[in-house]
Chain A
């Protein structure tokens, strides 16, 4: 398995609180992604990174921000959590251009009450 860890693995929080999820990789891959997975919607891209300090929005980025200060870490922040952000969040990585395979982490299950 690709060396990807996510923390925490489970979290329960209250509406209005900020939440930060962490993705850590040991593969030195350039590209990193955050997805959310919800029934009936598959995997939807929230934000992605194409290098240190280089990030861009995905299709469902509202209410989320990201940061990547080191190659190995990609942080996802819910600025003020809402119940609609209850989901399973997956981090993924991929290597250089032309090798599009994405390797996924184990996921973080987030419940916003």
Chain B
């Protein structure tokens, strides 16, 4: 099955700085990589995803990059704001499963005003 490792587990940045969270996966057949944001007391919510036919995808201050050779993908948040403070999860699909994904262990991002 798929194994996803996520680093770092905690990350503190000053407001306005950039934040980068990295994930590695084990299954070379994986082709879909979502990122979820979980605010305190809520369920995770998809913020961006990337498929294996592209190397980078951007949505305003958020971008995701994918390196299929190295089997890792990263979330980049630029010009961080206090409302970016949350727990972020990466995920990768379980090949052959019914729409199943394996989640990373999460990164708690704190943006210091």
Contact = CB atoms under 8 A, between A and B. Distances in A.
Interface of A: 4, 31, 33, 35, 40-45, 48, 50, 56, 58-59, 90, 92, 94, 97, 100-107
B100 interface: yes
A105 B43 contact: yes
Given A42-B103, A43-B103, A106 B98 contact: no
Contact of A97 (B44, B99, B102, B103): B99
Interface in B56-84: none
Interface residues of A, dominant DSSP: strand
Interface of B: 1, 6, 9, 32, 34, 36, 41-46, 49, 89, 93, 98-106
Contact of A100 (B1, B34, B43, B105): B34
Nearest to A94: B99
A100 B45 CA distance: 13
B37 to A, nearest CB: 11
Given A50-B98, A50-B99, 16 more contacts: A31-B99, A40-B9, A42-B103, A43-B44, A44-B103, A45-B100, A56-B98, A58-B100, A94-B99, A100-B34, A100-B49, A101-B34, A102-B101, A103-B46, A106-B42, A107-B42
Contacts of B104: 42
18 contacts: A42-B6, A42-B89, A42-B103, A42-B105, A43-B44, A43-B103, A44-B103, A58-B100, A90-B44, A97-B99, A100-B99, A100-B101, A102-B101, A103-B46, A104-B36, A104-B45, A105-B43, A107-B43
Contacts of B105: 40-42
Nearest to B42: A106
Contacts of B98: 31, 48, 50, 56
A95 to B, nearest CB: 9
A101 B43 contact: no
B6 to A, nearest CB: 8
Contacts of A92: 43
B44 A104 contact: yes
Nearest to A38: B105
A101 B89 contact: no
